[in-house]
Structure 1
Amino acid sequence: MTTENFNISAILQKLPVFAGLSANEYAHIQKICQPARVADGETLFVEGDSSPCMYVLLSGDIQLRTHTHGPIHTLTPGELFGEIGLISQQNRTATAIARAASVLLQIDGDVFQDLLAREPRISFYIMRNITLNLANHIARMNKGDILDFIPTGNH
């Protein structure tokens, strides 16, 4: 399975979690990405599952849903998901179901952690970006923008 029809480097550079990395560092990230395909209607993972990897949607549609709230977000190409569980070691907080045949990049958690251990600058920027995102969520919560906290695909 290939991803040759996609500009992987450009897609990774648009993801906020990787903001600030150099071209060489994006190349390190790209090297650990594995292509994956899911068929329309196929379940990628289930709420409560372990979180051994994260994904970038290249094409198609993935719906995130929870037992409590039902559908919470439909991912579109260019979105990253599954990263929070990967970093926090928590189980999946939602179920991901393909709503169309989809092509993904899969980043294995162990390989990702090895990269972060070998490349402290990459680790710094990713952790900084996650922290900034969390701080922005907390600030909006403190202002009462509670509707902004319905999950948006960063699972």
Structure 2
Amino acid sequence: SPPPIDYCYVRPQHIPSLNTLCREFFWPGIDLSECLQYPDFSCVVLFRKIVIGFSFMVPDVKFNEAYISFIFTHPEWRRAGIAKFMLYHLIQTCMGKDVTLHVSATNSAMLMYQKFGFKPEEFILDFYDKYYPEDSKECKHAFFLRLRR
């Protein structure tokens, strides 16, 4: 049988792999070390000890609101329910709080968020401008979504 996928909280030894993935798939210069402040609001996904996914939440952005800062599954592992599991886990850790996030306007994850009950509150032009390199083909506009609790 195939080796199982493991889900765990973020640990210091994960940071180099997380940063490498972030710089490859999001934008240069990301450092996820600060996520170690809230290990209970994280999820790292491992296959044979290799990081294939991760998600992070900032538990207290505003009174009664938690913010999902990152949710990522490696392209080779998409459509296996990993992001869905992580999103469910993060939502459960913040019972009674609204959960918010930004998502790129062209990101297919929009469908998953809407299934969970997230609703768009705002459309932000050029939200990712300050992150993506100038020649990036990625969509720079974002929706701000909220799950009301």
TM-score norm. by structure 1 comes to 0.28
TM-score norm. by structure 2 comes to 0.28
Q: Which of the pair has the greater relative contact order for Cα pairs under 8 Å at 6+ separation?
A: 1
Structure (1/2) with the larger strand percentage: 2
Structure (1/2) with the larger helix percentage: 1
